[in-house]
Amino acid sequence: MSNGFANVLISLVTEGPPDVYTTEAVTTVNTFPGSFTVGATTCLAQDARSLKDHAAAGKLSLGMGVSGGIEPRTGQVTELEIDLDDASSVSVTDTATVNCSAAWAGTATVTAVVGNTVTVEFSPALTNEAYCTVTLDCSAEVCVRMIEGDMNRDSDCNTTDASSVKLRFGQTVTDLNCEWDFNRDGDINTTDGSAVKLRFGNTAPVCP
């Protein structure tokens, strides 16, 4: 780069130690006069989805948001897709930082990066009545909660949830209604309603 360009760039950042200039999202290093390396260091989570297999219906995603979305389906939280504003600094095999309730201890690892969408897998799966905040190396943060049977995702499993399953008996299972296929067998029927009733009283701590 020319020194003229370098001078413009430096005027936009705060001077730190010699030859290193930083902003919240950019690190600029003076490798030799007039030459700079610029790279993003932070990113923002924009949305997240929990992925689960539903027999013949295939792998279906349930929207979670980024601030305490609830996974109500049986099988616990195993896999998250996270949409970032910029995934260029995220790599496969990165291990995320996790801050979770005492009901769970494990790891969350990046297993795929496609465009700006990152897939994170929990090992072991996030257990029932637990929460977990996942922070990627680029500082993007998502918190999820696992409450089996909380079909309407209001933080408690109760009669309202069982009734909501009954209203959907016979529906074709898709991404739009997959939470009501509680046992993930590809059908919404009385088996799901009965299984939800066995979870009455389930809840989970809120995300910190």
Do 205 and 107 fall within a single domain?
yes
Tell me if 110 sits within 8 A of 43, measured CB to CB.
Answer: no
Do 55 and 136 fall within a single domain?
yes
pLDDT (0 to 100) of residue 53: 97
The token pair at 169 is: 């008996």
List, for residues 9-60, the tens digit of each pLDDT value.
333 344 444 444 333 443 333 333 333 333 446 999 999 999 999 999 999 9
Do 27 and 129 fall within a single domain?
no
Do 70 and 140 fall within a single domain?
yes
Do 10 and 61 fall within a single domain?
no
User: Where does the pLDDT of residue 163 fall: very low under 50, low under 70, confident under 90, or very high at 90 and above?
Assistant: very high
pLDDT, mean over the chain: 85
Total number of domains in the chain: 2
pLDDT (0 to 100) of residue 103: 82
Higher-pLDDT residue of 8 and 199 is 199
Domain span at residue 101 reads 43-208
| Rounded percentage of the chain residues whose pLDDT exceeds 90 | 78
Do 21 and 49 fall within a single domain?
no
Do 18 and 73 fall within a single domain?
no
Do 13 and 108 fall within a single domain?
no
Helix (H) or strand (E) holding 200: none
Helix (H) or strand (E) holding 83: strand 77-84
Q: How far apart are CA 115 and CA 130, in angstroms?
A: 30
Do 14 and 50 fall within a single domain?
no
Q: What is the 3-state secondary structure (H, E, C) of 130-160?
A: EEEEEECCCCCEEEEEECCCCCCCCCCCCHH
Do 176 and 130 fall within a single domain?
yes
Q: Where are the beta strands (DSSP E) in the chain?
A: 14-15, 20-22, 26-32, 35-40, 45-53, 59-63, 67-71, 77-84, 97-100, 107-114, 117-126, 130-135, 141-146
Do 12 and 52 fall within a single domain?
no
pLDDT (0 to 100) of residue 25: 40
pLDDT (0 to 100) of residue 177: 96
Does the pLDDT value for residue 164 go beyond 70? yes
Q: Which residue has the tokens 């979305």?
A: 69
Do 69 and 93 fall within a single domain?
yes
Cα–chain center distance at 128: 17
